[in-house]
Structure 1
Amino acid sequence: MSSGSGSLSRYIAIRILLVIPMMWVLLTLVFFLLRVAPGDPVSAAFGGKLSEDALDVRRHNLGIDRPLIVQYLEYLGQVAHFDFGKTISDNRPVLDLVRDNGGATLTLTLGAFLFAIVVGLPLGRLAGRYRDSWGDIVIRIFGVLTYAAPIFWVGIMLVLLVVKLFPSWPTSGMASPITIFTVQPKTHILLLDAIFSGDGTAISDVLKHHVLPCFTLGLLLSGVIIRLVRVNVIQAMKGDYVEAARARGISERAVVRRHAFRNALVAVVTVIGLQVAATLAGAILTERTFNWPGLGTQLVKYILARDYIAVQGLVTFFALIVVLTSVTVDIINGLIDPRVRY
């Protein structure tokens, strides 16, 4: 085995092994932070509805009357078997919540990422190529505003604007009630189900409902991508290989596209991966703003119900997604750029 392939294998193995301590730290924080809040989740969910003896039975069945360390070890064992527990308030397995509502959050985040990449990459490249021009200044202001603006405020403003200019455009939910009723749920991803149904009207209806939420969340991400691409393009334009390309008579446009922009993409891939956590946080606010039936909406629902088993399971699932995405991005960077392996 060559030294290059050996270093890559070692790099990938180390990144995969790091998942274990990362997940352990996250799981421990989630477990203990949720138990710092005063009060009893069983009493919060059923207080006034059940007798004290019935509440004690519930506590015993859920195991929350046992020592904390016992609950903690049991929790780690359950997660190791991909068992995220059952909700206290309605006795639903958390994995069922993920199955039924995860598709909505997935389509929202993927749509937002697609919008952010389509907008952020070309604008960032233009700003980097024409540094300190009027176009660069306008793009930078746009990037700062989209990154700094509160996402729920942007969502509300967009809803008000759309209602004023396009009264018939949908501003709430994933689809019209008739579409949800007629489309057969096969994949738990409404857009895919609509496509598989072959109903053009349903597909159009679902896509229209996706526009505003994906656009709102995508704006937040596009600001990050614009600023990052701009900085890295400017840095890459100072490289010796760029000067060498210019000396060979290659056009400035080709120099930016083939050399500076490609080199800047390595950092972009890293940051896009790290933005998964921010996207999930933004998705919670976006789902609440647009009445989107995703995991963020469910998380808020169970937080208000003080159902910490549900909250614990959903947050653990989010943490697992973030960690796995981080490791995947590290591996992709190792494949793209050999320098990060050493």
Structure 2
Amino acid sequence: MSAASGSLPRYIAIRLLLVIPMMWVLLTMVFLLLRVAPGDPVSAAVGDKLAPDALDARRHALGLDRPLIVQYFDYLGDVVRFDFGRTISDGQPVLDLIKHQGGATLTLTVGAFLFALLIGIPLGRLAGRRRDTPTDAAIRIFGVITYAAPIFWVGLMLVLLVVKLAPDWPIDDIATPETKYYVPEKTGIILLDAILVSDWISVKDILQHHVLPCFTLGLLLSGVIIRLVRVNVIQTMKGDYVEAARARGIPERRVVSKHAFRNALVPVITVIGLQFALTLSGAILTERTFNWPGLGNSLVNYVTARDYIAVQGLVTFFAIAVVLVSLVVDIINALVDPRVRY
């Protein structure tokens, strides 16, 4: 076994061990930040709906009358058992909420990322190939604008454009009420559920509802990918192997596609993967803009209702998702590029 291949298991083992303190720090921060918020969570959520005795009973049931250190260790133990608590406002287990609405957030994230890759990679490659030309300048300006533009404004502008050009195209929600009613819930992902029962009319309806919110979020994500791909294409174009390929008379287009571009994607994999994790946890404004029935929309509703237990559970879930996706990305990056291994 070579040294490079022999170091991969060690690298994976170290990354797995590093997940433990990383997860502990994230969970501790979530717990403390919500505990330092002013006011009592139960009173804030349902204080005007329950009598004082009922409020005390609700606090006791949630364990909020126990010492803070006891609450902390109970919280860590619950997370280990995948128990994210129970909402104060409607008494719903947060895990059930994740099961029913997590699929909508996941499909929005995946769809947005596909659009981001389809837009960002070709434009970044073109900008890197035509460095310091008007084409490069235009693409860079486009990338800056898409990265800096507020998503609610872009979403509103695209909605107005769609209403003007295609009045019958759906502009909000994940599907029509009829589709949501008739498609049986099996996986928690309505598109996959419709495919499993071969309901192609519903599949078409669901995909149409996905286009606008996924394109909006993907458009704003593409700015990061454009810059990453452009910078790495420029760097790889300076490599000795690229100059050697040119010296052999290989056409420039093939030099870029077969040599520079492939190697430029290697360092981009990590950042793209992390961006996916952040997109998964940061699709809140998109869901709010398009009335998307996902976890981000629910999180905003629970924040508005001052249901801190629900907020804690959802934020904890997002934090765990980001850490796990980061771990997977690191392992994939180590498989692609042995130089990153310890």
Q: Same fold (TM over 0.5)?
A: yes
Tell me the equivalent position of 2:253.
253
- Aligned AA (2:317): F
SS in 2 for 1:192: helix
Give the Cα–Cα distance (whole angstroms) in 2 for the partners of residues 76 and 4 of structure 1: 37
- The equivalent of 1:135 in structure 2 is 135
Secondary structure of 1:83 counterpart = coil
Cα deviation for residue 332 of structure 1 reads 1.0
Superposition pairs for residues 1-342 of structure 1, below 5 Å? Answer: 1-342=1-342
Equivalent position SS for 1:18: helix
Q: 1:6, CA displacement in angstroms?
A: 2.2
Q: Given that residues 125 and 261 in structure 1 are in contact (C-alpha distance below 8 angstroms), is that contact kept between their aligned partners in structure 2?
A: yes
Deviation at 1:307, TM superposition (A): 1.3
Contact between 2:284 and 2:296, CA under 8 Å: does it hold in 1? yes
Q: Contact (CA 8 Å) 1:151, 1:282: kept in 2 or not?
A: no
Whichever residue aligns with residue 230 of structure 1, its letter is R
One-letter amino acid matched to 1:91: G
Contact 2:106-2:280 at 8 Å conserved across structures: no
Q: Residues 148-175 of structure 1: CA distance to partner in whole angstroms, max 9, x if unpaired? A: 1011111111111111121111101011
Question: In 1, Cα distance between the equivalents of 2:8 and 2:48?
Answer: 60
**CA distance in 1 between partners of 2:261 and 2:231 (Å):** 11
Classify the secondary structure of the residue corresponding to 1:187: coil
Query: CA shift at 1:281, angstroms?
Result: 4.8
* Alpha carbons 2:191, 2:206 under 8 Å: kept: yes
Name the aligned partner's letter for residue 182 of structure 2: T
- Structure 2 Cα separation of the partners of residues 125 and 244 of structure 1: 20
Asked if structure 2 preserves the Cα contact closer than 8 Å seen for 1:16 and 1:327, the reply is yes
For residue 51 of structure 1, report the CA deviation from its aligned partner: 1.2
- The AA in structure 2 aligned to 1:127 is A
- 8 Å contact from structure 1 (residues 64, 71) kept in 2: yes
- Alpha-carbon separation, structure 2, partners of 1:44 and 1:276: 34
CA contact (8 A) 1:217 1:282 kept: no
Unaligned regions of 5+ residues in structure 2, if any? none
Large movers: runs of 4+ above 6 Å? none
**Distance of 2:49 and 2:236 partners within structure 1:** 65
Question: Is the 8 Å Cα contact of residues 282 and 296 (structure 2) preserved in structure 1?
Answer: no
Task: Check whether the contact 1:117–1:222 (CA below 8 A) recurs between aligned residues.
Answer: yes
CA RMSD of aligned residues (A): 1.2
Do the aligned partners of 2:278 and 2:322 also contact (CA within 8 Å) in 1?
A: no
Distance 1:327 1:275 in 2: 13
Q: After alignment, is 286-295 or 80-89 more displaced?
A: 80-89
Cα distance per residue 1:265-321 (max 9 Å; x no partner): 112211111213431354100000000000001111111111111111111110111
Q: Which amino acid aligns with 1:165?
A: L
CA 1:245–1:233 in structure 2 vs 1: closer, same or farther (change >3 Å)? Answer: same
Q: CA deviation at 1:86?
A: 1.1
* Structure 1 contact 104–293 (Cα < 8 Å) conserved: yes
Within 2, Cα distance between the matches of 1:22 and 1:294? 26
Using the alignment, how far apart are the partners of 2:129 and 2:48 within structure 1?
Answer: 66
Name structure 1 gaps, 5 residues minimum: none
The total of aligned residue pairs comes to: 342
Partners of 2:339 and 2:280 lie apart in 1 by 30
SS of 2:283 mapped into structure 1:
helix
Q: Is the 8 A contact 2:281 2:322 kept in 1?
A: no
Identical pairs, percent: 75
